[in-house]
Amino acid sequence: MINFYDYLNIGFYFAFIIGVGIYFSRKSKNTSDYFRGGGALPWWVTGASAWMAGFTAWTFVGAAGKIYQTGPYVLVLYYQNVIPVIVLFALTCYRFRRMRVVTPMEALRLRFGPGAQQFYTWIRLPLMLVFGGFTLNSVAVFMSAVFGFPLETTLIALGLMVTFISLLGGAMGVVAADFVQMFLIVLVAGTAMVLALLHPAIGGFGGLMNQAPAAHFNWSEIARPEFISLWWVALTLNTLFSLNTLSDEKAAKYMMAQSDSHARKMILIPFLGTVFGPILWIIPPMAAAVLIRDLPARFPQLTNPEEAAFLAIAQDLLPQGMLGLLICCIFAASVTDIAGSLNWGSGLLLRNFYLPVINPHCPEKRLIKLSRFGAAGLGALIVGSALLINHFRSVAAAGGKGWGLFDLMNQVGTSLAMPLAIPACLGMFYRRTPPWSAWTTAVIGLVMSYVAIRYIQPEIMASLPGFGGPYTFEETRQFGVISTAFLVGCVCVAWFFFTSLFYEKTSPEHKANVNELFDRMATPLPDHRGPEHEENHGFAISIGRMCMLYGGFITLLALIPNSAQGRLCYIACGGIMLGLGLWVNRFYRGKQKIPV
C-alpha cells in the first residue's frame, strides 16, 4: 500500500516536527511563554493555529465517510460555523486578549470566583480527554487502514508519538508547527481535489455532479428538510456558545495575540478556512463514491469502511510518494489538536489548581518542568480514552447500532460541551450574577442533556407539520442533537439570568473582581506597548525558514519517478511553500528589531 518514498516523507515529517519542538523548547523562559507564547505573537501565526485547533483528522475520516455516503449534505455541518465565527470577530476575540491572563480559567476565576474555577478545571479535564480520544481514534482508523496494523496497537503508538512531540516546544512550538502544517494540509488536499476532478472517469466538476449517487443530492432520502433545518440551527447554537466561551481551550489562542487588532486580524484565517475549506474536503470523497464501490472489501478491518474513502481515492490518484504526505497531513491535524489540548490541560492543572491551591510560591522554572510532566500524564489518559471509545464503537456496531465518528462527535459535543459553554459565554457580557451562577447552570445543563437523550423521542414533534413518523435513521440521530441543543439552551440561559436576582447579596470582593474583569475588557490593548511586547520578528523569521526547509524538501520530491503530472504536483506544492517562506523571511528581515 505504501512504498519507500512514502516512508521517506513520513520520516522527514517526524524529524521536522521533533526538530521544531526541540528548537522552541529553549524559548520558553516562564509559564506565560510556555502556555501562550508570551502574549506577543503575530496575527497570521495565531490565526493559523486558531483554525488548526478546530481542524482534526476527523475531517479526513469521520466527515469523509459521511461525504462518501451523502455528498454535499455535510456542508450543512461545515457552514454552521460561519455565524459563530462572525460573532467571534465582532464581539469576543478582542475581549479574550484584553483579559490579560495566561489561561482562560484565570479569567473565569475573576468572573465567577475560585469555586467555579475549580469546578471547570476538574470537569473540563475529563471532557478534554474524551475529545482528545475522539481525535486519536480518528487518526488511528486512518493509519490502521494504511499500515494494516491492529487498531488498538495503532492507537497506543500514535498516542505516545503525539504526547512526545507536544512535550517539547510549548505554545510557541505548537503554533509555529501549526503554520507549516496548515499549508501542508491545504496543498495536499488541494492536489487530491484537482486530480480527482481531472480523472477521465470524473470529467471535471460537472461530470462529478452528474455521476454522483442519487443520495448525494436527494436529501429527502436521508432526512426531511424540516429536520435538516432544525439540525443546522441546533449545531449553530452549539458552536456559537462553544466558540465564544471561556470554558474552551480555543479561547487561549486569542490570548496569544499581540494586541486587540491582532486578535481581530487572526479571525481572517479561520473565516477563510470555514468558507473555502469544505470545497477541498468534499470533492475527493465524492469522487471516491463514483470510482470506488468496494471499500468494505479493501478495508475489512474497519468497523465503518466508508471512513477510509479519502485514503482510497488518494491511493488511486496521488503520484508515487504523495500518499506519505497525506499521512503526514492526517497526523498533523491530530498533533495540532491533541498537542494544543495537552498544552491547555497542563496549564489548567498548573495555573488553576497547583499554583493557587497547593504551592502559590512555586518558581517559574519548576512550573515549566511540572507542565511537561502534566502533559505527559494527560497524554497517557487520552490514549486510554481512545481505547475506550474504540471499544464502545465496536460493541455498538456488533449490536447493529453502530455510531460513525461523524454522528458521535456531533452528539457528544452538544451534550457535554454546550452546558459548560453557556454560562462561561454569557458571563463575559452580563456581570450581575452571583459566583454560583456558572457551576449551577452547567450542572443543570448536563442534567438536561441526559433528559433529552434518555427520555425525549422524535414522536414528541409528531403533531407539527412535516415532523410526523416514521423516522429515518438520520432523522433519529439529528433529533438527538436538536432536542439536546434546544432544551439545554433554553433552560441554561433562563437559569443563568434568573440567578441575577441574588447578585446584590454577593460579597464586595466578588463584585470588585467582576468589575476588574469588565474594566480590563473595556480597556483597549494597543499594538505598541513597549519593547517587551513588540512583535517577535525573530520568531517570524524562524517560521519563514521552516517553510523554506519543508518547501524545498517537497520540491526535491519531483525527482521521484512519476509522470510529468505527478512531478508537477510536487513542484507546485513545494514551490508555493518555499516561496511563502522566502517572502516571510525577506519581509521580516527588513524590519527585524531583535536577533534571531
274 touches 124 (CB < 8 A): no
Q: Which residues contact 387 (CB under 8 A, 6 or more apart)?
A: 133, 152, 155, 156
Longest Cα pair distance anywhere in the chain, in angstroms? 76
In whole angstroms, what is the distance from residue 456 CA to residue 479 CA?
9
For residue 478, which phi and psi values (nearest 5 degrees)? Answer: -65, -40
Contact 544/584 with Cβ under 8 angstroms? yes
SS3 467: coil
Of the listed ranges 217-226, 409-418, 549-558, 564-573, the one predicted with least confidence: 409-418
pLDDT at 596: 39
Write the pLDDT tens digit of every residue in 381-391: 888 888 887 77
Q: What are 103-146's pLDDT values in tens digits? A: 888 899 999 998 998 898 888 888 888 878 877 877 787 677 77
**Nine cell digits for residue 375:** 502533559
Q: pTM, whole model, 2 decimals?
A: 0.82
The reported pLDDT for the residue numbered 572 is 95
What are 168-210's pLDDT values in tens digits? Answer: 656 677 788 888 888 998 999 999 999 999 999 999 999 999 9
Q: What is the pLDDT of residue 531?
A: 52
Q: What is the pLDDT of residue 533?
A: 45
- Within its chain, how far is the Cα of 196 from the centroid? 26
- State mean pLDDT over 52-73: 83
Concatenating the DSSP letter of every residue in 129-143 gives HHHHHHHHHHHHHHH
Q: Report all structural domains of the chain as residue ranges with CATH numbers, in order of start.
A: 4-535 (1.20.1730.10)
Over the stretch 316-375, which tens digit does the pLDDT of each residue have? 999 999 999 988 887 777 766 777 677 777 777 777 778 777 888 787 778 777 877 887
Mean pLDDT of the region 469-477: 86
| Distances, alpha carbon 477 to alpha carbons 221, 276, 413, 471, in Å | 14, 27, 13, 10
257: three-class secondary structure by DSSP: strand
Confidence (pLDDT) at 594? 44
Q: What is the rounded CA–CA span in Å between residue 350 and residue 345? A: 9
In this structure, which amino acid lies at residue 520? R
Report the alpha-carbon distance of residue 185 to residue 446 in Å, rounded.
36
Residue 374 C-alpha cell reads as: 502534566
- Count other C-beta atoms under 10 Å from residue 271's C-beta: 18
Confidence of residue 34 (pLDDT cuts 50, 70, 90): low
> Pick the residue with more confidence: 371 or 293?
293
Question: CB-based burial of residue 90 (10 Å sphere; 0-12 exposed, 13-18 middle, 19+ buried)?
Answer: exposed
